[in-house]
Structure 1
Amino acid sequence: MKKITIFILIIYSVFTFSQNKKHELPWSNGALQVSSNNRYLQHKNGKPFFWLGETGWLLPERTDRDEVDFYLSQCAKNGFNVVQVQTINAVPAYNKYGQPSMIDGFNFTNINQKGIYGYWDHMDHIVKTAEKNGVYIGMVCIWGGLVKSGKMNVDEAKSYGKFLAERYKDSPNIIWFIGGDLRGDIKTEVWEALANSIKSIDNNHLMTYHPFGATSSADWFNDAEWLDFNMFQSGHRRYGQRKGDGEIKKLADTEEDNWRYVEKALALKPLKPIIDGEPSYEDIPQGLHDANEPRWKDSDVRRYAYLSVFAGSFGHTYGHNSIMQFYRPGLPPAYGAKRAWYDCLNDTGFVQMQNLKYLMLKFPYFDRIPDQSIIKGEVGERYNRLIATRGNDYLLVYNYNGRSMEIDLSKITGKQKKCWWYNPRTGDFNYIGEVDGSKIMQITPEKENGESKDFVFVAVDAAKNYLNN
């Protein structure tokens, strides 16, 4: 990056940071907790928390302080309130300053050396900068492949968990991630030791498990006391791409149906909230490993987000190929990354994710449920699938490819219903009109620039004023 570009990024970061300071910090509403209906997250004072995550896996390893400030300010500006990071991706891991995460195995006694800006000093800077920007850090303690290969045993997990919990238990913006792209039935005893070690010291922060692609934490840990909410990784494959793992063994040609993981988890007891913590990334090859494959686009990341949330997820995590690895020219790219991460912060998917959070927070939050009975006729499969969610007096239907649909307006209260189209690309509502609330409404989204685009159909009890129309 040229010096002038760095200067501009720093100035813009300082400006954005000063703007963000004016906003209410989330934890002023109290700590995060699971809602009383066990489906969503909320703050202690009852304010709903819609998780809008960004995937910043290599943030601790590949950024300096100024880049941390700029990146987190851009996340906050675009509505992200959680950033998921790999705390360490090697034993030891090294940051951009050349400092290691460990000096002697998992012994952290001498990790803070006087006069040296160390690995954990930089991690502290990430946490504190995120805090100032109103962003939670989803802290993946250690990447799963390291544990699988024997880089951390049970005793080391206990030691590491104690170190992490004591260091960050008083930070208001921590969410603990056990696991890291690994099935929960691999080295289970290590994950249990790490989770329980952290929880024995820090019971103030929520905890989940980040699993391997096409699997869910609910498959192994739904009964675990330390697991506050479930997470699944729907993964990066298109229909027909599979390796025979996870749910794909049982459900052929369902690779992109992330709503299935939500339905399955919400049918379990005890009921726990669930989220897609790693769907297809924007600008990454379909299936990951062949850079010549087509790449996932903004429309794909929107589709994953709306399908999952309308199926009952309490939020969603977005990812971008270049951003998650903080790729820049001169570094070895993974998964065919070509563009510098800082040039991707204006990409369409990154910018548009906030429209989902905006929509979901417009309506009464905790009474929302998935309800496919709203849709009459065929709900559809694959890209034709319609997916519906509702509260007592509002309903939403996501339509990916602009096909005609029939909506049962009687599923919510109100003799009359006011109806809109919501544009997930712009965040705009287009008023359709007021109709008989007992009817089956046949409707087709209008084409945009001559093409069918994804839209959300919105109907609200006419006596309510959620959209100020």
Structure 2
Amino acid sequence: MSILTVSADHRHLEQEGKPFFWLADTIWSAFTNITLEDWAYYLKRRREQGFTVLQINTLAQWDRGESPLPWAPFALAEDGFPDYSQPQQDYFDHARQMCRMARAEGFTLALVVLWSNQVPGTWANHLIPRFAIPRDQLTGVLTKIYDSFDEFEPVYVISGDTDFPTEEANEYYQAAFDLLAQRGFAGLKTMHLRGRLTDIPDQFARQMDFYIYQSGHNSSGQATTYLAAEVLSNREPRRPVINSEPCYEQMGYSHNLYGRFGRFAIRRAAWQSLLSGACAGVTYGAHGVWNWVSAGLRPTLALGEAFDAPQPHQAALHFPGAWDYGFAREVFDTYGIGTLVPCQERVAHTSPEIRIAKTPDESLCLIYLPVNTQLTLNGDFSGRSVRAYDLASRRTAWLTPTFQEGVTTLPMHPFEEDVLLILR
């Protein structure tokens, strides 16, 4: 399996010269929490669903579920926090075995190097400062990570859930980039941003091969799905863009607000991202899988953004939204879509939640319609076939467009939930 590359138009990813759709699953806490038997089952299921990438933290995820397993990347000091001078080889051997199994199933690994709680001055480290890696031990930690995982040709995600608050924090991230360059690493590199953040320092944007953002789990911030895509797809230097952390299925709203993101909400997040400039792919997350919560054990070791309790992984792995995300990859593969260009000016409607994009040659036009309505488009689309995909059930219907006085009208579709319209 060859490493991923960036397309010549800097809009999508490729593998062996063909478009590669980044359909990732969020499994940050895999290396500490999952038995090899559970891992084998997990890989089989996600492969069946069409996933291509696994997003994993190389070190211990701070808000993972409690685990009876012995895996920890570093010995613990007397205060119970990691002693970063004492790596535990058993942990890295176990993680490497998991990587071999994932690669054998055809997955690309996206491995986080430094989660924000381990970097001084970040929002997460302010909550529990003792997690910070001492500066004089940083090179040793980075070297251990790269020595352990380079052979699997991963995408390195230099930062996790990061902001850029101080020069000290930025120095940690730069050290991670610099060491990769010194080692001659040829794979892709990126940074995972804190929720709703789009302001990347030029220093790092120049070193990233693609931009990823998270629209996240804040119930009032879901417009970030398309707003962040618009910002990052238009910034320089131009890079492919991915929403690598939309709202997770059955995640409670952040800051312990009452409510959860259901199947419709996560579908909406995916398609609004894909049609607004973040067309290189999308990441799924199931609440209970990303933190790998086991029945009967504490759901989390640290609160982080304070989410409501998850289902155990035995149930969360089977949430239906994972199949919906697999369908997004199927659409891109079936229609041979590599790049989509937003064309929002075509929608004669006041709601920005309706998103529209076209292929560069304009042979296809895709529209995400979250709520049923008669839709008016600026321009003549009357000569095109219009197929409506009911995203909840996969039923399809053919619609007949009409053109008059400079606008095309698409009638209401016959379904009850959100649809993807493909004009061909």
Shift of 1:202: 4.7
Residue 246 of structure 2: aligned partner: 279
The match for 2:228 is 261
Which aligned pairs between 1:359-370 and structure 2 lie closer than 5 A?
A: 359-370=331-342
The residue that corresponds to 1:304 in the other structure is 269
Change in Cα spacing, 1:131 to 1:288, as seen in structure 2 (3 Å) is farther
The answer on whether the counterparts of 2:112 and 2:159 sit within 8 Å (CA) in structure 1 is: yes
Give distance in 1, aligned partners of 2:19 and 2:136.
38
* Matching residue of 1:152: 133
CA offset digits 1:406-464 (Å, max 9, x no partner): 134647xxx8311111222344543335877997331244343xxx310011111xxxx
Cα shift at 1:82: 1.1
Aligned residue for 2:357?
389
Equivalence for 2:109: 137
Equivalence map 1:303-452=2 (5 Å): 303-313=268-278, 314-334=280-300, 335-375=307-347, 377-381=348-352, 385-391=353-359, 392=361, 393-408=363-378, 410=380, 416-432=383-399, 440-448=407-415, 452=416
Alpha-carbon deviation of 1:48? 0.4
Q: 2:156 aligns with which of 176, 197, 206?
A: 176
State how far apart, in whole Å, the 2-side matches of 1:234 and 1:154 are. Answer: 31
2:423 is matched with 459
The aligned residue for residue 15 of structure 1 is none
Letter in 2 for 1:232: Y
Q: Which has the higher contact order (CA 8 A, sep 6+)?
A: 2
**Other structure's SS at 1:457 match:** strand
Once the two structures are TM-superposed, the CA of residue 330 in structure 1 deviates from its matched residue by: 2.0
Deviation by residue 1:41-79 (Cα, 9 ceiling, x = unmatched): 111x32001111111111111111111111121111111
- The residue number in structure 1 matching 2:218 is 237
Name the count of aligned residue pairs. 396
Which stretch shows the higher mean deviation, 300-309 or 331-340?
331-340
Partners of 1:328 and 1:341 within 8 A in 2? yes
SS of aligned partner of 2:295 = coil
Contact kept? 2:252, 2:309, Cα under 8 Å = no
Shift of 1:380: 0.7
Secondary structure at 2:191 match in 1: strand
SS in 2 for 1:401: coil
Q: Say if 1:58 and 1:86, in contact at 8 Å, map to a contact too.
A: yes
More displaced stretch, 254-263 vs 68-77 = 254-263
Match of 1:127 among 95, 99, 113: 99
Residue 166 of structure 1 aligns with which residue? 147
Partner of 1:211: 193
Would you say the 8 A contact 2:386–2:423 is kept in 1? yes
Aligned amino acid, residue 69 of structure 1: A
Q: Residue 35 of structure 2: which of 29, 44, 64 is its match?
A: 64
* Separation in 2, partners of 1:438, 1:154: 66
SS in structure 2 at match of 1:68: helix
Distance 1:409 1:131, change over 3 A: farther
In structure 1, what is the Cα distance between the partners aligned to 2:405 and 2:102?
Answer: 48
The whole-number CA distance in structure 1 between the counterparts of 2:351 and 2:13 is: 30
What's the C-alpha RMSD, in Å, of the aligned pairs? 2.6
- In structure 2, the residue corresponding to 1:141 is in which secondary structure? strand
Contact 2:116/2:162 (8 A) holds in 1: yes
CA contact (8 A) 2:275 2:357 kept: yes
Tell me which stretches of 4 or more aligned residues in structure 1 moved more than 6 Å: 434-439
2:270 corresponds to which letter in structure 1?
A
What amino acid is aligned across from residue 360 of structure 1 in structure 2?
F
For residues 71 and 333 of structure 2, the distance between their equivalents in structure 1, rounded to whole angstroms, comes to 42
Q: For the Cα contact (< 8 Å) 2:250–2:310, is it kept in 1?
A: no
* 1:237 maps to amino acid: N
Contact 1:89 1:143 in 2 (8 A): no
Q: CA deviation at 1:361?
A: 2.2
Q: Tell me if structure 1 keeps the 8 A contact 2:391–2:417.
A: no
Unaligned runs of 5+ in 1: 1-26, 113-117, 240-253, 461-469
TM-score for the superposition, normalised by structure 2 = 0.85
Secondary structure at the residue paired with 1:42?
Answer: strand
Letter paired with 1:418: S
* Contact 2:28–2:290 under 8 Å retained in 1: yes
| Change beyond 3 A, Cα 1:197–1:69 | same
1:229 CA drift (Å): 1.0
Q: Secondary structure at the match of 1:355?
A: helix
| CA gap 1:139/1:374 in 2 versus in 1, 3 angstroms | same
How many percent of aligned residue pairs carry the same amino acid? 19
Inter-partner Cα distance in structure 2 for 1:322 and 1:453: 26
Q: How far is 1:163 from its partner?
A: 2.3
Counterpart contact for 1:196–1:226, Cα < 8 Å: no
Distance 2:113 2:99 in 1: 14
- Report if the CA contact (8 A) 2:114-2:160 is conserved: yes
| Residue 140 of structure 1, CA deviation | 1.2
Change (3 A) 1:62 1:191: same
Task: Answer yes or no: is 1:97 the counterpart of 2:77.
Answer: no
Name the CA distance, whole Å, in 2 between partners of 1:320 and 1:367. Answer: 27
Letter in 2 for 1:76: R
Change (3 A) 1:319 1:367: closer
Structure-1 separation of matches of 2:232 and 2:401? 37
Tell me the equivalent position of 1:40. 12
- Does structure 2 retain, via aligned residues, the 8 Å contact 1:166–1:201? no
Structure 2 counterpart of 1:185, which letter?
Answer: P
SS at match of 2:100: helix
Report the equivalent of 1:220: 201
- State the 1:135 CA deviation: 1.2
